[in-house]
Amino acid sequence: MTSIAIVTGASSGLGAEIVRQLAEGAFGPLDQIWAVSRHAERTSPRVRPFALDLTDPASFDVLEAALAETPGARVVLLVNNAGFGTFGDFADMPARDNADMVRLLMLAPVELTYRALPYMAAGSRILNVASVAAFMPQPGLATYSAAKRFVLDLSRALDAELGGVDIHVTALCPKFMRTGFLDHAGADDVAARMARLTGFEDVGRVAARGLRAAREGRALCIPSADMRALYVATKVLPYPLALAVERALL
């Protein structure tokens, strides 16, 4: 058997940190770590880079073919992490940005999960990176928050479906981290407000907690205590009131 972990968005930020921790044994012995990103590089002997754009449907065929060509391939971990977000009103967004967000944040996890499942077995895990933005609709981040809600709901439903054969799906919901996400979102003012209100998550801590939750087969991982409180609040408060509170704070 060739044990494989697949990590998307692996060239920087949370994805790169997950690859690093996996290479150091955070998920047990692995024969190969497939690092998928647009600019993938080999960072250790066990890391196999795949330079792919996951907004292109052909990229899924490449990965599926690579699995088929690997003797005894067994996917023990799939991490759907690739993504980006753009801040601003929906009507002001370039149509391509919103379409690519949907492809990368929603279609890519569906496709990769579908392609990887035939190579999974009892004990395999899927870690889907959602966000605290998934907890309720976010004006100014409409497509991103809706897509992350899709990831959250898909993860929990798949965990219920697959749990009986000991394949578990974990939704990881961090708050903002100091990664390239905010650089590309055009959101310096949002970053400053977030820093004052909640601070930023540590990337290493988020990666470690997400991997541990996946190993344990937990359906949901919210790394920070304040965001766990927010999650509960969004379940209790009517949306207009929750939105008013959020706007007052920010």
pLDDT tens digit sequence for 30-49: 999 999 999 877 778 899 99
Residue 179 is which amino acid?
T
Task: For residues 69-85, give the mean pLDDT.
Answer: 95
Look at residue 191 in the predicted model and tell me its pLDDT: 55
Query: b or e along 166-199 (b: 16 or more beta carbons within 10 Å of the residue's beta carbon)?
Result: ebbbbbbbbbbbebebbeebebeebbeebeeebe
Phi, psi at 235, each rounded to 5°: -80, -25
| Structural domain of 88 | 2-249
What is d(CA 198, CA 43) in angstroms, rounded to the nearest whole number? 33
Is the backbone of residue 128 left (phi > 0), alpha (psi -120 to 50) or beta? beta
> Residue 243: which pLDDT band, with cuts at 50, 70 and 90?
confident
pLDDT tens digit sequence for 205-222: 999 999 999 999 999 999
Share of the chain above pLDDT 90, in %: 64
Contact in structure between 213 and 221 (CB atoms under 8 Å): yes
pLDDT tens digit sequence for 91-111: 888 888 899 999 999 999 999
Contact in structure between 208 and 21 (CB atoms under 8 Å): yes
> What is the number of other CB atoms lying within 10 angstroms of the CB of residue 136?
18
> Residue 151: which pLDDT band, with cuts at 50, 70 and 90?
very high
SS3 for the chain is CEEEEEEECCCCHHHHHHHHHHHCCECECCCEEEEEECCCCCCCCCEEEEECCCCCCHHHHHHHHHHHHCCCEEEEEEEECCCCCCCCCHHHCCHHHHHHHHHHHHHHHHHHHHHHHHHCCCCCEEEEECCHHHHCCCCCCHHHHHHHHHHHHHHHHHHHHHHHHCCEEEEECCCCECCHHHHHHCCHHHHHHHHHHCCCECHHHHHHHHHHHHHHCCCEECCCHHHHHHHHHHHHCCHHHHHHHHHHHC
Look at residue 97 in the predicted model and tell me its pLDDT: 86
Task: For residues 118-145, give the mean pLDDT.
Answer: 93
What is d(CA 88, CA 241) in angstroms, rounded to the nearest whole number? 22
Q: Is the pLDDT of residue 192 over 70?
A: no
Contact in structure between 8 and 128 (CB atoms under 8 Å): no
Number of domains in the chain: 1
Contact in structure between 6 and 52 (CB atoms under 8 Å): no
Q: How far from each other are the two terminal CA atoms of the chain, in whole angstroms?
A: 51
Mean pLDDT of the chain: 89
Task: For residues 180-185, give the mean pLDDT.
Answer: 57
CATH classification at residue 224 = 3.40.50.720
Residue matched to tokens 């759907």: 80
pLDDT tens digit sequence for 194-209: 555 566 789 999 999 9
